[in-house]
Amino acid sequence: MTGDFEKRRLLLHAAAAACLLAAFPARPQERVVRITARKFEFLPHEVTLKKGVPVVLEFTTQDVAMGFNCPDFNIRADILPGERPRVRFTPDKAGSFTYLCDLFCGDGHERMSGVLRVEA
């Protein structure tokens, strides 16, 4: 009798766990995108993302202090030589969005920009 009770209890626990897991959909894995800032460009110039998929933008520079600003997503970072600032966000709209350097880094600074393309 005890064996049947244990089997039923294990089956009940397994069913409860399955219901609990089904109630909480799995979160998408964060994607890390590395962006290098150098006079006077971002590499890559275009970054393609998926709407609703979390992303971490990781920045590096070897040159001088620079900035990253994407006003459409309200994200910003200072990019300093020897550091690797990271910005986490989840794109919530599809389209093409310009990002730019917002710290003066020398002649050519005004052309330093790129594009975040977010696919639905």
CATH number, position 66: 2.60.40.420
How many other C-beta atoms are found inside a 10 Å radius of the C-beta of residue 44? 13
Helices (H), the chain: 2-23
Domain that holds residue 93: 31-119
For the chain, how far is it from start to end, CA to CA, in angstroms? 56
Distance, in Å, from the CA atom of 33 to the CA atom of 48, rounded to the nearest integer, reads 10
pLDDT attached to residue 30: 87
pLDDT band at 59 (very low <50, low <70, confident <90, very high): very high
pTM, rounded to two decimals = 0.75
Residue 17 falls inside a structural domain:
no
In a domain, 11, yes or no: no
Residue identified by tokens 């990781």 is: 58
Task: Identify whether 100 is part of a domain.
Answer: yes
For residues 118 and 47, the answer to whether their CB atoms sit within 8 Å is no
Say yes or no to pLDDT of 26 above 60: no
Residue at 43 is within a domain: yes
**Contact status, residue 75 vs residue 114, Cβ threshold 8 Å:** no
pLDDT band at 10 (very low <50, low <70, confident <90, very high): confident
- Provide the pLDDT confidence category of residue 27 given band limits of 50, 70 and 90: low
What is the arithmetic mean of pLDDT over 73-94? 97
Per the domain annotation, does 85 fall within a domain?
Answer: yes
Number of residues that make up the chain: 120
Within-domain flag for 52: yes
Q: Is residue 70 part of a domain?
A: yes
* Residue at 59 is within a domain: yes
Q: Which amino acid is at 97?
A: F
Q: How many domains does the chain have?
A: 1
Residue 45, Cα to own-chain centre: how many angstroms? 16
Which structure tokens are listed for 13? 């626990």
Q: Which of 21-25, 49-53, 67-71 has the lowest mean pLDDT?
A: 21-25
Quote the pLDDT of residue 25. Answer: 58
